[in-house]
């Protein structure tokens, strides 16, 4: 793991393990962010079938899939949102959202995704 | 000297705008932001009814505006915010029915000319739109590779009808619609121009920006 990734993972752990931050941001705020930025690919129903996915070479993750989501640690999820798919050896089609979303918002989205998949914290 | 000439040109353009321009644009303001760059709020992008036009004069090509205002077509295949129109089909796949999208008003040739003049006078650069951003030396062939495979642009934008994602504006008419410097600037720094817009700042080098801009420009010429 590169130093930059290690620092990011540490930051992710810090944010994600601070309940006040994630809870303070709230499910509603995270759901709105999801609708704005994520649902175009991951679907309004969070099922990976967003409007952009027809003909896409790599299908986005189904965030309601408890088993598949349960295998992804929180820090990897944080990194994927912040730095994009390539940062976690996934598709370039998942862009890096660090220029749009704050660290707190990304942490809130990770917490929200655990609610969507109903697969607990990792 | 160049700055003085540019400043003079902008001032002249503002004074040269038709006297009816302000009144003409009033009718646009219920759906478009005209006077100032949009605030960086994600809910703005869910709530707005049309694209921000406060920097229309730095973004659009006037001949395209005149033509489009007479025969407006959907530039965003899924509407200004896809969340308003996306519906899941029986398989759970989100789709947008073009018939659900609101229609932009159309104008006669004279009205379209006046509106285009007024819009081209709106030059409130939010920052990030740089004169000379497109060098004219990009290589479309490499731009196509970046657009369709290496940089993921195709995930959100159509480069031909029915080819590519549909949440972003279609780009097969972008060469006629948009100024080359705007395309290059927005591709490089979208968040500097429209904070919190859907398009993230991608990790691209200067050559990528030039090549992708050349490719996008080529789409309207039919020579990609």
In chain B, the domains with their CATH numbers are 2-71+106-120 (no CATH), 140-219 (1.10.760.10)
Interface of B with A in 64-103 (CB under 8 A): 78, 82-83, 86, 88, 91-96
Judged by DSSP in three states, B87 sits in strand
The whole-angstrom distance between A97's CA and the closest CA on chain B is 6
List beta partners, residue B95.
B87
Rounded to whole angstroms, how far apart are CA atoms B27 and A27? Answer: 38
Q: What string of pLDDT tens digits covers the 122 residues of chain A?
A: 455 555 555 655 555 554 444 444 678 899 999 999 999 999 999 999 999 999 888 999 999 999 999 999 999 999 999 999 999 999 999 999 999 999 999 999 999 999 999 997 76
Rounded to whole angstroms, how far apart are CA atoms B223 and B215? Answer: 9
Mutate to test the interface with A, among B44, B46, B78, B86 (most CBs of A within 10 A): B86
Please check whether residue B144 is in contact with residue B154, taking contact to mean a CB–CB distance below 8 angstroms.
no
What's the sign of the alpha-carbon dihedral A99, A101, A103, A109?
negative
List beta partners, residue B160.
B163
Inter-chain touch B82–A97, beta carbons under 8 Å: no
* ipTM given for this complex: 0.85
End-to-end CA distance of chain A: 19
**Cβ within 8 Å of residue B160, ≥6 positions away:** B172, B219
The whole-angstrom distance between B192's CA and the closest CA on chain A is 10
What angle is formed at CA B40 by the lines to CA B37 and CA B44, rounded to 5 degrees? Answer: 90
The predicted structure's pLDDT at residue B7: 46
For chain B, the farthest-separated pair of C-alpha atoms sits apart, in whole angstroms, at 63
The predicted structure's pLDDT at residue A100: 95
For residues B138-156, b (16+ Cβ closer than 10 Å) or e, as one string?
A: bebebbbbbbbeebbbbbb
Across chain B, mean pLDDT equals: 88
The whole-angstrom distance between A62's CA and the closest CA on chain B is 11
Inter-chain touch A37–B95, beta carbons under 8 Å: no
Residue of A nearest to B95 (CA): A51
Inter-chain touch A54–B93, beta carbons under 8 Å: yes
| Residue B146, both tokens | 């970046």
Collect all residues of chain B within an 8 Å Cβ-Cβ radius of residue A93: 152, 155
Domains annotated on chain A, with CATH? 3-117 (1.10.760)
* Residues of chain B with confidence (pLDDT) below 50: 1-20, 224
Inter-chain touch B95–A51, beta carbons under 8 Å: yes
The predicted structure's pLDDT at residue B119: 96
List beta partners, residue A111.
none
Residue in B82, B88, B202 closest to A95 by CB: B202
Inter-chain touch B42–A33, beta carbons under 8 Å: yes
Rounded to whole angstroms, how far apart are CA atoms A29 and A52? Answer: 23
Inter-chain touch A39–B196, beta carbons under 8 Å: no
End-to-end CA distance of chain B: 38
How far CA A56 is from CA of A17, A36, B91, B199, in Å, comes to 35, 20, 17, 18
Residue of B nearest to A94 (CA): B152
CB of B167 less than 8 A from some CB of A: yes
Inter-chain touch B152–A93, beta carbons under 8 Å: yes
Please check whether residue A41 is in contact with residue B168, taking contact to mean a CB–CB distance below 8 angstroms.
no
Q: How many interchain CB pairs under 8 A, A with B?
A: 93
Collect all residues of chain A within an 8 Å Cβ-Cβ radius of residue B203: 84, 96
Residue reference for tokens 């429209």: B194
What single DSSP character describes residue B124? Answer: -
Inter-chain touch A40–B43, beta carbons under 8 Å: no
Residue reference for tokens 């690919």: A41
The whole-angstrom distance between B149's CA and the closest CA on chain A is 9
Cβ neighbours, 10 Å, residue B20: 13
| Residue B217, both tokens | 């420009």
Judged by DSSP in three states, B185 sits in helix
The predicted structure's pLDDT at residue B21: 55
Judged by DSSP in three states, B60 sits in strand
Inter-chain touch B92–A39, beta carbons under 8 Å: no
Please check whether residue B17 is in contact with residue B123, taking contact to mean a CB–CB distance below 8 angstroms.
no
Mutate to test the interface with B, among A33, A52, A85, A92 (most CBs of B within 10 A): A52
E-strand ranges in chain B read 87-88, 94-95, 158-160, 163-164
| Residue A114, both tokens | 């655990």
Residue in A39, A44, A100 closest to B196 by CB: A100
Rounded to whole angstroms, how far apart are CA atoms A44 and B63? Answer: 37
The predicted structure's pLDDT at residue A4: 57
What single DSSP character describes residue A61? Answer: P
């Amino acid at each position: 793991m590169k130093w930059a990734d290690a620092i990011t993972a540490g930051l992710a752990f810090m944010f994600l393990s601070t309940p006040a931050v994630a809870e303070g941001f709230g499910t509603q705020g995270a759901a709105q962010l999801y609708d704005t930025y994520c649902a175009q690919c991951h679907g309004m129903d969070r099922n990976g079938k967003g409007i952009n996915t027809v003909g896409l070479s790599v299908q986005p993750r189904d965030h309601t899939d408890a088993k598949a989501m349960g295998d992804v640690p929180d820090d990897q999820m944080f990194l994927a949102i912040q730095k994009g798919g390539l940062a976690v050896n996934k598709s370039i089609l998942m862009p890096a959202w660090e220029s749009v979303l704050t660290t707190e918002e990304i942490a809130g989205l990770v917490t929200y995704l655990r609610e969507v998949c109903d697969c607990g914290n990792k | 000297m160049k700055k003085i000439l540019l400043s003079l040109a902008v001032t002249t353009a503002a004074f040269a705008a038709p006297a009816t321009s302000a009144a003409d644009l009033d009718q646009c303001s219920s759906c478009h932001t005209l006077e100032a760059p949009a605030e960086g709020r994600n809910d703005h992008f869910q709530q707005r009814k049309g694209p921000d036009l406060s920097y229309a004069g730095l973004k659009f090509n006037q001949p395209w505006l005149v033509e489009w205002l007479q025969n407006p077509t959907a530039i965003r295949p899924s509407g200004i915010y896809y969340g308003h129109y996306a519906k899941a089909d029986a398989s759970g796949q989100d789709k947008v029915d073009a018939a659900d999208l609101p229609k932009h008003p159309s104008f006669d040739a004279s009205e379209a000319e006046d509106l285009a003049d007024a819009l081209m006078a709106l030059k409130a650069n939010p920052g990030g739109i740089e004169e000379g951003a497109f060098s004219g030396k990009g290589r479309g062939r490499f731009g196509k590779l970046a657009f369709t495979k290496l940089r993921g642009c195709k995930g959100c934008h159509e480069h031909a009808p029915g080819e590519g994602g549909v949440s972003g504006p279609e780009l097969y008419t972008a060469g006629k619609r948009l100024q080359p410097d705007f395309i290059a600037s927005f591709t490089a720094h979208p968040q500097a121009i429209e904070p919190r817009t859907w398009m993230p700042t991608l990790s691209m080098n200067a050559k990528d920006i030039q090549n992708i801009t050349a490719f996008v420009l080529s789409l309207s010429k039919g020579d990609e």
